[in-house]
Amino acid sequence: MAGLRLSKTTIALLLLIVCHVGPSMAVLFSQLPKTLIVTATTKSGDVLHAGEDKFTVTWALNTSLPAGADANYKTVKVLLCYAPVSQHDRKWRKSNNDLKKDKTCQFTVVKQDYSATGKHEYTVARDIPTASYFVRAYALDASDTKVAFGQTTDANKTSNIFDIVGITGRTTGIFVSAIVFSAFSGVALAFFYVVENKKKK
Partner 1 sequence: MAKKSLEVEAEVEVEDEGDAAQFKMPVDSDHKATEFWLFSFAKPHMRAFHLSWFSFFCCFVSSFAAPPLLPVIRDNLSLTTTDIGNAGIASVSGAVFARLAMGTACDLVGPRLASASLILITTPAVYCSSLIDSATGFLLVRFFTGFSLATFVSTQFWMSSMFSPPKVGLANGVAGGWGNMGGGATQLIMPLVYELIKKIGSTNFIAWRIAFFIPGVMQTCSAIAVLMFGQDMPDGNYNKLHKAGEKHKDNFSEVFKHAVTNYRGWILALTYGYCFGVELTIDNIIAQYFYDRFGVNISKAGTIAASFGLANIVSRPGGGLFSDYLSKFFGMRGRLWGLWVVQTLGGIFCVILGKTNSLAGSIVVLLLFSLFCQAACGLTFGVVPFVSRRSLGLISGMGGGGGNVGAVLTQLIFFHNSKYSTEDGIFYMGIMILVCTLPIALIHFPQWGGMLCGPKPGYTPEDYYQSEWSHHEQQKGYHTASLRFAENSVREGGRSARGSGHSKHTVPVETSPTDV
Residue 6 vs 65, nearer CB to partner 1: 6
Q: Residues 5, 20, 43, 88: which binds partner 1 (CB under 8 A)?
A: 88
**For residue 93, what are the contacts with CB-CB under 8 A and spacing of at least 6?**
82, 86, 87, 103, 104, 106
Q: Is 176 in the site for partner 1 (CB under 8 A)?
A: no
Q: What's the CA gap between 128 and 157, in Å, rounded?
A: 19
Q: In this chain, which of 4, 21, 25, 71 binds partner 1, going by CB under 8 A?
A: 4
Centre a 10 Å sphere on the Cβ of residue 36 and count the other Cβ atoms it contains.
Answer: 25
**Which residue type does 11 have?**
I
Residue 131 lies near partner 1 (rule: CB under 8 A): yes
In a 13 Å sphere around the CA of 1, the CA atoms on its Cβ side amount to: 0
For the chain, the residue count is: 201
Minimal distance, residue 24 CB to partner 1, in Å: 16
What residue ranges bind partner 1 (CB under 8 A)? Answer: 1, 4, 6, 14-15, 17-18, 86, 88-92, 126-127, 129-131, 166-171, 174-175, 177-178, 181-182, 184-186, 188-189, 192, 196, 199-200
